[in-house]
Amino acid sequence: MPIQQDEALRRLLESVRTIAVVGIKAGVSDDAYRVPAYMQRQGYEILPVSPKLDSVLDEGCVANLSALPETPDLVNLFRAAGHMPAHVDEILALDPLPRAVWMQLGIRHTEAAERLEAAGIEVIQDRCLMVDHGRLLGAAPPLRIPLHYDFASTVCYVAHRVLARMAPTLRELGLELAWTPVDLTAITGYARGMEMPETSRANARRIGTDLGVAVEPPPHWMDSRPAAAAALLAARTGRVGAEETWRERIWTALFEERRNAPNATEVITWAHQLGFTIDPAALERAIDELDELTRQAREDQVTGVPTFMLGRWPFGGIQTEETMANVLERYARKSRSGELS
């Protein structure tokens, strides 16, 4: 019978090191990419098998299993059930035989499984390799990426919405965004209250439209310092999600309700409405801290917002979800492998 018990699955996942992925894909939103990418991040060697690709996950592809330089410990199949008999023929022709064959979630073929088991190969059917690994062995701690932002920036609001849509992808990549406010006035020279050029506003509208976020940029550059300082304090309340809730409240107020940026008094009131208390003196100290964060950002070559700090390298702006996923996945993989140290 195919393996189903957790202890047997755990022993298998702890013992294999090389995984041949048949039917791997290059699109970061495809399960046939996300699952092997996850397993690669956990330290497994991924051997891509696809006649349609030259390389993926920084590994060269082969057209079929027989072209691999060595037999993998585990064959992970991302192919429809109707292809299973042919893949079994290919697997049974290997010498030596792999220890196990894993048919991904939604893939089941009783006759194919019986042939593999008769040859002494362990079989897992209709299960997700990534899900079972995370459940049984646990994933590595998330990799934190500082993300510099300013509440006054329309493009940062757009990024906020795009990254919210990307939350499942970020979790799967093992990434955690560390939203870090800065005072863009001190970086760009914008004057508080200055009238924003129509060219800048039109560009922000275009970015929003291109990324599926309808937005109308405010006519003047706002003073976002009290709101940003409150975000720093919200992150220290000990309440799960307090800082995220604060960011959502501010951006909704500024860019959807079309309100002015809150001053210090209003920030304290809004925080109270959200269930946490801000002391006026603490808010003043947090504004001083914001100045220091801005100084540090300038030293790190941050010239605008949003800016993702990918190690020592600033990556500015916001792109499509597919492009962002590609950039962040590649950074995470290289960072965890030590290539960026």
* CATH number for the domain harbouring residue 114: 3.40.50.720
* CATH number for the domain harbouring residue 217: 3.40.30.10
Domain boundary among 112, 137, 162: 137
Inside any domain, residue 341? no
How many domains is the chain built from?
2
Q: Which of 11, 257, 22 is nearest to 249 (CA)?
A: 257
Same domain for 215 and 100, yes or no, is: no
Domain boundary among 114, 137, 160: 137
- Are the C-beta atoms of residues 154 and 255 closer than 8 Å to each other? yes
Same domain for 121 and 148, yes or no, is: no
Domain that holds residue 40: 6-137
Inside any domain, residue 1? no
- Are the C-beta atoms of residues 81 and 109 closer than 8 Å to each other? yes
DSSP 268: H
Same domain for 218 and 307, yes or no, is: yes
Same domain for 24 and 68, yes or no, is: yes
Domain boundary among 137, 158, 191: 137
Same domain for 32 and 114, yes or no, is: yes
Same domain for 187 and 249, yes or no, is: yes
Tens place of pLDDT for every residue, the chain, 341 residues?
Answer: 466 688 999 999 999 999 999 999 987 778 898 899 889 988 999 999 999 999 998 899 999 999 999 999 999 999 999 999 999 999 999 999 999 999 999 999 999 999 999 999 999 999 999 989 988 997 667 888 999 999 999 999 999 999 999 998 898 888 999 999 999 999 998 899 999 999 999 999 999 999 999 999 999 999 999 999 999 999 888 777 899 999 999 999 999 999 999 999 999 999 999 999 999 999 999 999 999 999 999 999 999 999 999 999 999 999 999 999 999 988 988 887 777 75
Same domain for 18 and 158, yes or no, is: no
Same domain for 262 and 152, yes or no, is: yes
Inside any domain, residue 248? yes
Structure tokens at 217: 């940029």
C-alpha pair distances (Å), 241 with each of 20, 110, 271, 276, 286: 39, 46, 13, 12, 19
